[in-house]
Amino acid sequence: MKIGITGCGGKMGSALIKSVLNSDKYELSGCTEVNSHPLLGSKIGDITNSSKQSDIVISDDPNDMFANSEVVIDFTSPNATETLTNLGKMHKTNLVIGTTGHSEKQLSLIEGASSDITIVKAMNFSIGVNVLFSLTQQLSRTLDDDFDIEIIESHHRDKVDSPSGTAIELGNLAAGAKSRQLSDFAKFNREGIGKPRKRGEIGFASIRGGDIVGEHKVVFAGMAERIELGHIATSRELFCAGALLAASWSKNKTKGLFDMLDVLGFK
């Protein structure tokens, strides 16, 4: 299966390239970076120390990559959404999107493109995190508001969005299980002396530091008891495995917008 990768100089992009090159199931069909990136024009072999497909050149033009790919995997920036969805439609190339922080307009572009191609968009491609999604939804549906919900996430110092997309999705699932909108119950900031916690509120806390790959905890705090659900990622390889699984899964679909719960059969 021919896989194209955007943002190949980033943490996830470089990890994905190594995963593709180390697999017999996939072929790297191209990789891109922004036009100011120092790796632009370099060969894959120069940055991976691998002889496999070592002559592929890192380009700032994604058109050729889309033309030669069955699926393109993107973990870059929401700013790339319009270009990627347009090229996906033009070349009938499926998309796997792991980028978070999209605006409503960008989400609309993704949804529109899914009328022509298959798109798997997920806040997190870890199998374990998607189990956490399912369990959070079940517990929130079962427990009433006597159990306060708090979501705590930790990531490396370079992560720019906060809370993480995964944390937001956990909040959406917890609220949705009670037939509520997260925007009506989310609390993103607790500083100084404020009002007491509102019943039904879903609180968020973020930690940024070091090289933390990703940690998420959902706390259901009741009186005299507390339930904690959590997931700790120790390597980006798990996200790569999930993204490649999604890419393979998308090959058997003609079009539509899906997430990892679809890929894993949880829906």
Tokens of 111: 């949804």
Q: Which amino acid is it at 165?
A: G
What's the rounded Cα separation, in Å, for the pair 136 and 187?
18
Please say if 159 is a catalytic residue: yes
- Choosing from 91, 155, 216, 217, which is the catalytic residue? 155
- Choosing from 159, 187, 253, 255, which is the catalytic residue? 159
Tokens of 261: 């719960």
Please say if 25 is a catalytic residue: no
Distances (CA, A) of 192 to 118, 149, 152, 163, 196: 47, 20, 19, 20, 12
Rounding to the nearest 10 degrees, give the CA dihedral for residues 202, 203, 208, 211.
-40
Q: What is the CA radius of gyration of the chain?
A: 20
Which residues are known to be catalytic? 155, 159
